Amino acid sequence: MSTKHGGVSFDVAEASIDALRRGIRSRELLVSGLIDTCLERVERWDRAGPKLAAVLALNPRARQLAARCDHAVADGSGGPLCGIPVAVKDNCDTAAMPTTGGCLGLRDSRPARDSAVVRRLKDAGAIILAKTNLHELALAGLTESSLGGQTLNPYDLTRTPGGSSGGSGVAVTMGFAAAAIGTDTVNSIRSPSSANSIVGLRPTRGLISRAGIIPVSETQDAVGPLARTVFDIALLLDALAGYDPEDPATARCIGQIPDTYTASLQRPGLSGRRFGIIRGLQGTSAENREVNAAVEQAIAAMRGAGAEVLSVDEPFFDAEELIENLDVQKWEFRHLFDAYLKRLPAPPVRDLAALIASGAHLPGSLAFFKEAVGVNEPDRDPEYLRRLVAIDRLRGRVFSLMAKHRLDALAYPLQRCLVVPIGSASQAQRNGILASLIGFPALTLPMGFSRPTPTAPIGIPMGLDLMARPFHEPLLLSIGHAFEQVTHARRAPALAREV
């Protein structure tokens, strides 16, 4: 489905933000037509057809905002993202639409103001087109919620789209929006990026403000962009990165942000770079074969472009053990969630205990809720304190490993097996916990597809995660852009081409 103006056709499903910006500025593309096309796509595939269930709410002022953007462009004004439609995960506060976390108990929750990321996008001229479904309160990776139901993977309608930001991933790959915002506490930006053949960035802790987002963990939470190209991620990062006194962690980014992240894409990408492939984050059974084959193809592409790639391994590279022994969500969630509710003008529930009592939540969330509500004074809990010390030790070990081998980045499959079928108990064998614990930036890139099947006509997408040192996003983007150019791995879902 495309939109036309002045005889020029734009394929909204695949057009980059940069291409859309050029079309809008040249007046070859009207923002009004672009927004209409995105809304038509939502109606065609999300509300009807297969009912992907990626979108929870549409901005009622979207067309009005589009008309305003068209006037701004005609006047020679408008920000760097003027008219670009962006979908936002529904745990990011928006004053114009409810912010629910996908939870029935919060279905009427209306924050007083926009979250920091939404404000920055709007200041840059973007149109917040939709709020997307997520795994309820961003607490797991299947993208199922009591409010929005189960989001489907457009590459295979029998599978999940990754999560928890699965609605955002589907919105980008299906062309419901040009880009999206997700959050990532363990895997949640990168998992749907891997499963939907798009690019996702979990930024360095402190690069993008988390203010105004339904929280899970002070230690592990991050917010970041999902898009179809690395260049688009760089454009979004220009708008999103920066200090915000409402999120003290962002004080770390002062002096670390370039004039524009897009400049990094002009630098040498793969030639002369050194990568460490973490073999311990690959599986060894039959269900891992297709992912492992894609990793080997990615390695070959890197080497073919002049990179050095070596295998690195340490006992601490074990995702399951890291989740079991270092994850701190249980200790941090209740205090943060209760504080978030107190800041709402009219909170629909008083606190986590009241949400549990209401029963207006996904049944699968109850076990975690009960664990979290039972945590009192976490700062005096020996196990919580032990985990924080161990996280700091892990961070030091990763720094040392990268220094010892002179590595620019570490690489591993974001998920060791294909994204799981609907009805699975969890999103199995994901590796994102490493970056989430230590606060390093990680960029997920499309690296290929599994073999086609009757339910997956072009196969299931698989993603490669690249992790660099803190505030080395320019390096990651440079590498990612070069990898993208030599692999051309992204393919739109066959579903998105149906008329």
**Other Cβ atoms within 10 Å of 2 Cβ, number:** 14
Interatomic CA distance for residues 49 and 68, integer angstroms:
31
Residue pLDDT, tens place only, 260-311: 999 999 888 899 999 999 999 999 999 999 999 999 999 999 999 999 999 9
pLDDT tens by residue, 188-213: 999 999 999 999 999 999 999 999 99
φ, ψ (nearest 5 deg) of residue 235: -60, -45
Asked whether the predicted pLDDT for residue 317 surpasses 80, the reply is yes
Backbone angles phi, psi at 176, to 5 degrees: -70, -25
Dihedral over Cα of 14, 20, 26, 31: its sign: positive
d(CA 405, CA 157): 42
8-43 pLDDT tens trace: 467 877 999 999 999 999 999 999 999 999 999 999
Please state, for a pLDDT cut of 90, what percent of the chain lies above it: 94
Residue pLDDT, tens place only, 324-334: 999 999 999 99
The amino acid occupying position 341 is L
Check residue 11 and give its pLDDT.
84
Residue-averaged pLDDT of the chain: 96
The structure tokens listed for 384 are 């919580």
Whole-model pTM over 0.95: yes
Q: Answer for the pair 124, 21: CB distance below 8 angstroms, yes or no.
A: no
Do residues 319 and 430 lie in contact, with contact meaning Cβ atoms separated by under 8 Å? yes
SS (H, E, C) 213-281: ECCCCCCCCCEEEEECCHHHHHHHHHHHECCCCCCHHHHHHCCCCCCCHHHHHHCCCCCCCEEEEEHHH
Tell me: pLDDT of 235 over 60. yes
- Determine the pLDDT at residue 9: 62
Whether the Cβ atoms of residue 462 and residue 419 lie closer than 8 Å to each other: no
Q: Is the pLDDT of residue 499 over 60?
A: no
Q: C-alpha dihedral over 365, 370, 375, 381, to 10 degrees?
A: -80
Spatial distance between the Cα atoms of 20 and 234, rounded to a whole number of angstroms: 15
Residue percentage of the chain with pLDDT more than 70: 98
Return the active site residues.
Answer: 89, 164, 188
In the chain, the domains with their CATH numbers are 2-497 (3.90.1300.10)
pLDDT at position 12 is 75
Eight-state DSSP code of residue 458:
T
Q: Is 280 exposed, middle or buried (0-12, 13-18, 19+ CB in 10 A)?
A: middle
Q: Return the SS3 of 19.
A: helix
Asked if pLDDT for residue 215 goes beyond 80, the answer is yes
Work out the pLDDT band at 7, boundaries 50, 70, 90: very low
pLDDT digits (tens, 9 = 90+) for 160-186: 999 999 999 999 999 999 999 999 999
Residue 498: what pLDDT? 66
Whether residue 6 is predicted with pLDDT greater than 70 in this model: the reply is no
How far apart CA 285 and CA 289 sit, in angstroms, is 7
Rounded-to-integer distance, Cα 38 and Cα 45, Å: 11
